[in-house]
Structure 1
């Protein structure tokens, strides 16, 4: 039997003006959790065995998170995301999963893309570049 679960019920939150207090950010239909990547550093030398490249571990990067929500022009979610995009300081966000797990992070909003297709719903996609290490719990 599979251990797969769906993501229905996942919530994306933004810290309010009251530190430590979070509020839902729009009505999400797509949430991308921060990606975990690692650089590698080429450590090849003239003495590398059999002329094969050698590598050592480099810096880790927790990449970006993403959010797709229903777009309401002039709505709170758009206003908050635009303010965060204008802010030169990172903002605190949290993703809550239906099983009670969460990931919290501080990030810069790097992209806010609203769309209004002729057929279909209005959507907004936002990207968040993590400013440091996320906390998984």
Structure 2
């Protein structure tokens, strides 16, 4: 049996302090989890072995993500307030449990959000995208195994 899951049933939350006040991002249409890139600065010198370039690990960057949402006044108000905040906002994405788990995996990160309305055309629901510039580390906590 496969242990894969679908995104339906996941939760996308935000908080201003990362410990309390967690609130759902209204009408989220999917999960958005940052992917980290790694820099490798070149450090080749005249005495590099056998004429090969040499590299060291440099800084990491989690980049930007975009969370697609349905537009609501409450959701837009929440994101405009978060955009105006002086510090980064805390985000938590909790996946639904896989068949072999009692709780889902959790991804946590911080970032600076910018909301933008998306006009999907006449007769289509109005959307909102939240672009989040990630700052700092992205953590992953594996969900608990089923008993």
Aligned length: 134
**Structure with the bigger percentage of strand:** 1
Q: Does the aligned pair in 2 maintain the 1:31–1:66 contact within 8 Å? A: no
Tell me the SS of whatever aligns to 2:30.
Answer: strand
TM-score, structure 1 normalization:
0.82
Does the alignment pair 1:52 with 2:52? yes
- In structure 2, the partner of 1:130 is 134
Q: Does the aligned pair in 2 maintain the 1:34–1:64 contact within 8 Å? A: yes
The CA distance in 2 between the partners of 1:49 and 1:135, in whole Å, is: 37
RMSD between aligned residues: 2.3
Unaligned runs of 5+ in 1: none
The CA distance in 1 between the partners of 2:45 and 2:85, in whole Å, is: 45
- In structure 2, the partner of 1:85 is 83
How far 1:67 sits from its partner (Å)?
Answer: 1.1
Matched ranges for 1:1-137 at <5 A: 3-15=3-15, 19-72=19-72, 75-99=73-97, 100-109=104-113, 111-119=114-122, 120-137=124-141
